[in-house]
Structure 1
Amino acid sequence: MEANNFDTIEYLKNGNPRQKEVYDVLIKSGIMDALQQYDPLLVGTIPINIDIEDSDIDIICCYDDSSEFSGNLIIMFQDLDDFEVTESTDNDAIIAHFTIDNFKFEIFAQDIPTRQQSAYRHMMIEHAILSKHGEAFRQEIINLKNQGMETEPAFGMLLGLENDPYEELLNYVI
Structure 2
Amino acid sequence: MERVHYLEALERTEILAKLSAFSPHVVGTPPLALDLPTSDIDVICFAPDADAFTCAVWNAFGLRPEFRMWQWIGGARPVVAKFAHAGWVIEIFGQASPISEQFGWRHFLVEQRLLACGGDTFRNSVMTRRKDGMKTEPAFATVLGLDGDPYVALLSLESCSDIELAALLADQGFI
Tell me the TM-score range normalised by the shorter chain: 0.7 to 0.9
Map of 1:101 onto structure 2:
86
Matched, 1:67 2:51: yes
Matched, 1:48 2:35: no
Q: Quick one: distance in 2 between partners of 1:28 and 1:45?
A: 19
Matched, 1:167 2:152: yes
Q: Read off the aligned partner of 2:34 and give its amino acid letter.
A: I
After TM superposition, the runs of 4+ consecutive aligned structure 1 residues lying more than 3 A away are none
Q: Read off the aligned partner of 1:152 and give its amino acid letter.
A: E
Map of 2:23 onto structure 1:
39
1:12-58 Cα shifts (integer Å, max 9, x gaps)? xxxxxx8x822222122211100000000000111111111111010
Q: SS of 1:47's equivalent?
A: helix
The Cα of 1:89 is off from its aligned counterpart by 2.6
Q: Are 2:138 and 2:151, in contact at CA under 8 Å, matched by a contact in 1? A: yes
User: Structure 2: which 5+ runs fail to align?
Assistant: 166-175
Q: Are 2:48 and 2:96, in contact at CA under 8 Å, matched by a contact in 1? A: yes
Matched, 1:84 2:42: no
Q: SS of 2:58's equivalent?
A: helix
User: Structure 1: which 5+ runs fail to align?
Assistant: 1-17
Q: Are 2:19 and 2:56, in contact at CA under 8 Å, matched by a contact in 1? A: no
Structure 1 length-normalised TM: 0.85
Q: Which has the larger displacement, 124-133 or 35-44? A: 124-133
Q: Which has the larger displacement, 58-67 or 89-98? A: 89-98
Q: Percent identity?
A: 32
Map of 2:11 onto structure 1:
27
Q: Read off the aligned partner of 1:76 and give its amino acid letter.
A: A
Matched, 1:152 2:137: yes
Q: Quick one: distance in 2 between partners of 1:162 and 1:152?
A: 12
1:80-132 Cα shifts (integer Å, max 9, x gaps)? 01100011133421110101111110001100111221111111101111112
Q: How many correspondences in the alignment?
A: 156
Map of 1:118 onto structure 2:
103
Two-structure CA RMSD over aligned residues (Å): 1.4
Larger Rg: 2
Q: Quick one: distance in 1 between partners of 2:110 and 2:153?
A: 11
Partner of residue 140 from structure 1, selected from 105, 122, 125: 125
